[in-house]
Amino acid sequence: MISTSIHRVNFYDTDAMAVVHHSNYIRWFEIGRVNFLREIGITLGEMMEDGYVFPITEVKCKYIASGKFDDVLRIETTPVALTKVKMEFSYKIYRDCDNTLLVEGFTQNVFTSKATGHITRLPEKYYTKMQNALK
């Protein structure tokens, strides 16, 4: 399953060279992840209320072309691996008007107890929805 999110580059997303600052792409990966979860019927708020958080333990971003102010970006988020304690995603961010690939990326997220900060197994009510999205 590929989840697609749209984001318009704001002026404050750019740097002194008039291109998107590299750190913003990592933030936009999060937009994609959160949207993916919503699409499969999970909200981060609900997970947090149940005592689970979803921090990143690994991130990779390959920069291919530059985004600019007011570009409309298409963020494609794909779940690529899942266990009871972690989930991995791949990302592609395109400039939507001309389909130019700007970045490719990857994150590994672990399921963690909000109370203790320790890695924990995800309950079936979340795991099953995530597993079904991988099919």
Is 94:65 a contact under the CB 8 Å cutoff? no
User: Degrees (nearest 5) of the Cα angle 125, 130, 132?
Assistant: 100
Give the phi and the psi of residue 91 in degrees, each rounded to 5: -135, 145
Largest CA distance in the chain: 47
The question of whether 50 is a catalytic residue gets the answer: no
Q: Encoding tokens for residue 27?
A: 């933030």
The one catalytic residue in 13, 15, 96, 98 is 15
DSSP state of 119: B
**How many CB atoms lie under 10 A from the CB of residue 68?**
12
- The residues that are catalytic are 15
